[in-house]
Amino acid sequence: MTTDDSYDSAQGSCRGRGMTEKISSEPSEGFPIGIAHIAVIGAGLMGHGIAQEFATAGYDVYLHDVTDEKLETAHAQIEKNLGMLAENAVIAKEEIVPALQRIHTSTELAAAVETADFVVEAVTENLALKQQIFEKLDAICQPHTILASNTTALMPSQIGVKTKRKDQILNTHYFNPPYLIPLVELIRSPDTSDETVALTVVLLAAIGKTPAVIEKEALGFVGPRLQAALIREAFSIVEQGIASAETVDLIVRNSFGRRLSVAGPFEVFELAGWDLVLAAFEEVYPDLNNSPNINPLLREMVDTGKLGVKSNEGFYDWTDDRLQALRDRMNHALILHAKNV
């Protein structure tokens, strides 16, 4: 997928532009800042969706992964996602072909990033791997290029430790699926410059995202920390036999989960009153799981290969029908939400 860029609508496929072809480094017309080319490293679940977001907004995107097969799968998935978004009137049908044509793929890291003004790294969650990739990016990329990681948990100061451009490194943490969830957490290290943060905020806003700047880096930032606390207690509830995983999901989906999509926890509890919250939590807190260790049930799930959708089995049996039904339910609700809010 690295030789020709023409979209063949009869075949329904798009081939990547030759990576040796240099594209003007002038900023695209209509974009507020001097960022014209985006590179996304890692074309998995998150990387393909992030590339899709930039391409739909009008940016040339270079998508890199380790094999052609992974890049072809990502391209096919982007095409499917765009079709779904057009069917639901989130984008116009006419936007699909141009968006696909803006995505260029390569298994060569240097070819993918040499003209990039902004790089998003979305490879497997592994600190050593991310550090190694950032070190390479630092050596290959243009001096002005900003390097962002989509890590779920790691801090930008850890990921960028082997680079010489620590002022141009930060995290942009998207939520899955990135083309339907608007918020991106933006985490700066103590070395990240104000200019890098400001440029990234403007870039994300220009492609329709809602950036939230986290001023002080911490493992897991805000979103993943809150989700980690919720799933720790959920595992504990199941492990103790208080309720099954299905019952936990049923309760969250149909009670406070609904509220949380329209009001944050501080807003919700201010409706109730902190006096009531204090009285209730004084009773409950001593009984909650606050172990720093991984719940044995979670360990057992991984050790026995019950990984969830990836291995077709977790707390649920993931048949194709069940998986499609969940995806349809999530897409439908998130699209409605995107249109209403």
**Cα separation, 20 vs 244, whole angstroms:** 55
Instruction: Give the interface size with ligand NAD as a residue count (CB under 6 A).
Output: 23
* Residue 108 contacts residue 64 (beta carbons within 8 Å): yes
* Residue 197 contacts residue 170 (beta carbons within 8 Å): yes
**Interacting stretch for ligand NAD, rule CB under 6 A, among 17-25, 148-156, 198-206, 295-303?**
148-156
* Residue 100 contacts residue 49 (beta carbons within 8 Å): no
Instruction: Assess 120 for contact with ligand NAD (CB under 6 A).
Output: no
Instruction: Assess 326 for contact with ligand NAD (CB under 6 A).
Output: no
* Residue 152 beta carbon to ligand NAD: minimum distance, rounded to whole angstroms: 3
Instruction: Assess 124 for contact with ligand NAD (CB under 6 A).
Output: yes
Of positions 46, 57, 63, 184, contacts ligand NAD by CB under 6 A: 46
For ligand NAD, the closer CB: 64 or 232? 64
Residue with tokens 């009531």, as numbered in its chain: 276
In a 13 Å sphere around the CA of 10, the CA atoms on its Cβ side amount to 0
Strands (E), 195-267: 210-214
Site string for ligand NAD, 173-192 (x = CB under 6 A): xx-x----------------
Instruction: Assess 41 for contact with ligand NAD (CB under 6 A).
Output: yes
Instruction: Assess 221 for contact with ligand NAD (CB under 6 A).
Output: no
Considering only CA atoms, which of 35, 31, 65 is closest in space to residue 48? Answer: 65
Of positions 151, 171, 172, 200, contacts ligand NAD by CB under 6 A: 151
* Residue 103 contacts residue 51 (beta carbons within 8 Å): yes
Whole-number Cα distances in Å, 252 to 29, 59, 190, 248, 328: 45, 38, 37, 6, 19
Residue with tokens 């403007």, as numbered in its chain: 202
For ligand NAD, the closer CB: 15 or 173? 173
Of positions 4, 23, 45, 277, contacts ligand NAD by CB under 6 A: 45
* Residue 149 beta carbon to ligand NAD: minimum distance, rounded to whole angstroms: 7
Residues near ligand NAD (CB under 6 A): 41-47, 64-66, 70, 122-125, 129, 133, 150-152, 173-174, 176
